[in-house]
């Protein structure tokens, strides 16, 4: 029982969040531009370049769980990584043995609604009706389960968005950088204790928006999984951002958390600003939602006056 509970809880935490046709072209680089930019763009992943007097920062817009059917070229991104002077990857929790024990003995706080409350105690009539209909369709009982876990389970079980997927861009870059001895920096290292505290302290009402977004995605149907990846590959960034699956994953922890999500966005802007002052080429893999959302990293960099080249993001 405890093993099953832990597996569910760890699955939800890991969420940290996916066809061939004519492809839209990104900005065509001038001959004098760094060749690494050309190599990276040939991977087919949407990206932006920030050019300064001392070097270039390449921002790869990542979505997780890309279907294997999506025609992109990770090998080109590996090649570009090997040519980079440094790499920046996403934040990583630093979990201690004490954090693991705490999760083992207190994990129920993350998987169940508090005390003896049920979903009906927090949701309005329309929300409860939707939840019960989706639960019945999958023969599940979501009445006592936390909204955080329910949201991710619905996406995983009903949309199967994380089945038959290719390697994520961050994994491609990480593996290539390690093999080529390219320096890797994490945007941030989060203490496991802080991460757990953040989750434990959030009331059930803090996760209702996530639940609504997950129900929207499931009701939209499984076709949105391929559609999201296709628009990512075609560099139709607003279409990706408006996809119900991307919207649901963007509502998941930690990005929708008022404190942690805001802090992570600020950290990314600071890391990219620091990299823009470095000599040579920096390759950073950044969640597309964090890059392209209104008021996100690209908007903030643009407001600071950085020279950004790449596909339209709004």
What would the pLDDT profile of 215-234 be if each residue is shown by its tens digit? 999 999 999 999 999 999 99
> Strand pairing of 55-62 and 47-51?
antiparallel
The three state secondary structure string of the chain is CHHHHHHHHHHHHCCCCCCCCCCCCCCCCCCCCCHHHHHHHCCCCCEEEEECCCEEEEEEEECCCCECCCCCCHHHHHHHHHHCCEEEECCEEECCHHHHHHHHHHCHHHHECCCCCCHHHCCCHHHHHHHHHHHHHCCCCCCCECHHHHHHHHHHHHHCCCCCECCCHHHHHHHHHHHHCCEEEECCEEEHHHHHHHHHHCCHHHHHHHHHHHHHHHHHCCHHHHHHHHHHHCCCHHHHHHCHHHHHHHHCCCCCCCCHHHHHHHHHHHHHHHHHCCCEEEEEEEEHHHHHCCCCHHHHHHHCCCCEECCCCC
Domain boundaries, position 192: 2-8+34-309
Calpha distance 180→184 (Å, rounded): 11
pTM of the full structure: 0.82
Of 184, 196, 182, 181, residue with least CA distance to 103: 196
Q: With respect to residue 19, please indicate whether it lies within any of the assigned structural domains.
A: no
Q: With respect to residue 17, please indicate whether it lies within any of the assigned structural domains.
A: no
Of 283, 272, 92, 301, residue with least CA distance to 188: 92
With 0-12 CB in 10 A as exposed, 13-18 as middle and 19+ as buried, what is 131? buried
Residue 52 pLDDT class (50, 70, 90 cuts): confident
Residue 26 pLDDT class (50, 70, 90 cuts): very low
Mean pLDDT of 150-178: 93
Name the residue with higher pLDDT: 266 or 98: 266
Q: Can you say whether residue 181 is alpha, beta or left, with left for phi > 0 and alpha for psi between -120 and 50 degrees?
A: left
pLDDT tens profile 122-134: 999 999 999 999 9
Which of 55-59, 95-99, 252-256, 278-282 is least confident? 95-99
Name the residue with higher pLDDT: 11 or 198: 198
For residue 167, the model assigns a pLDDT of 92
With 0-12 CB in 10 A as exposed, 13-18 as middle and 19+ as buried, what is 4? exposed
Name the residue with higher pLDDT: 158 or 96: 158
For residue 111, the model assigns a pLDDT of 86
Report CA dihedral (181, 271, 10, 242) to the nearest 10 degrees.
Answer: -120
Q: With respect to residue 23, please indicate whether it lies within any of the assigned structural domains.
A: no
Q: With respect to residue 202, please indicate whether it lies within any of the assigned structural domains.
A: yes
**Residue 53 predicted with pLDDT over 70:** yes
Residue 91 pLDDT class (50, 70, 90 cuts): confident
| Average pLDDT across the chain, whole number | 83
Number of structural domains the chain divides into: 1
Name the residue with higher pLDDT: 191 or 61: 61
For residue 227, the model assigns a pLDDT of 97
Q: With respect to residue 26, please indicate whether it lies within any of the assigned structural domains.
A: no
Q: With respect to residue 18, please indicate whether it lies within any of the assigned structural domains.
A: no
Name the residue with higher pLDDT: 126 or 2: 126
Which of 1-15, 153-167, 259-273 is least confident? 1-15
pLDDT tens profile 98-119: 544 454 545 566 789 998 999 9
Q: Quick one: what percent of the chain has pLDDT higher than 90?
A: 63
Contacts of 125 (CB under 8 A, 6+ apart): none
Residue 250 pLDDT class (50, 70, 90 cuts): confident
Q: With respect to residue 29, please indicate whether it lies within any of the assigned structural domains.
A: no
Mean pLDDT of 277-304: 93
**Residue 25 predicted with pLDDT over 90:** no
Residue 5 pLDDT class (50, 70, 90 cuts): very low
Q: With respect to residue 20, please indicate whether it lies within any of the assigned structural domains.
A: no
């Amino acid at each position: 029982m405890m093993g099953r509970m832990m597996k569910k809880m760890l699955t939800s935490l890991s969420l940290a969040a996916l066809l061939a046709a004519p492809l839209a072209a990104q900005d065509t680089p001038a001959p004098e531009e760094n060749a690494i930019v050309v190599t990276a763009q040939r991977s087919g992943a949407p990206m932006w370049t920030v050019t300064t007097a001392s070097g270039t920062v390449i921002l790869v817009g990542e979505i997780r769980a890309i279907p294997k059917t999506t025609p992109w070229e990770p090998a080109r991104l590996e090649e570009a990584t090997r040519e980079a002077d440094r790499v920046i990857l996403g934040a990583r929790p630093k979990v201690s043995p004490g954090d693991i024990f705490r999760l083992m003995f207190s994990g129920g706080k993350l998987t169940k609604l508090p005390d003896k409350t049920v979903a009906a105690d927090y949701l309005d009539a329309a929300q409860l009706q939707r939840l019960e209909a989706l639960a019945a369709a999958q023969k599940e009982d979501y009445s006592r389960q936390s909204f955080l876990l329910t949201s991710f389970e619905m996406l995983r079980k009903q949309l199967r968005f994380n089945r038959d997927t290719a390697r994520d861009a961050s994994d491609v870059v990480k593996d290539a950088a390690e093999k080529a001895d390219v320096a890797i920096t994490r945007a941030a290292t989060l203490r496991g204790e802080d991460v757990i505290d953040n989750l434990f302290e959030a009331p059930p009402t803090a996760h209702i928006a996530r639940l609504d977004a997950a129900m929207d995605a499931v009701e939209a149907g499984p076709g949105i999984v391929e559609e999201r990846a296709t628009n990512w590959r075609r560099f139709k960034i607003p279409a990706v951002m408006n996809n119900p699956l991307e919207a649901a994953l963007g509502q998941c922890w930690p990005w929708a958390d008022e404190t942690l999500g805001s802090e992570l966005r600020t950290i990314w802007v600071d890391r990219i600003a620091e990299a823009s002052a470095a000599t040579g080429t920096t390759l950073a893999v950044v969640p597309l939602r964090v890059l392209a959302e209104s008021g996100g990293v690209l908007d903030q960099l643009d407001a600071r006056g950085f020279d950004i080249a790449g596909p339209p993001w709004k």
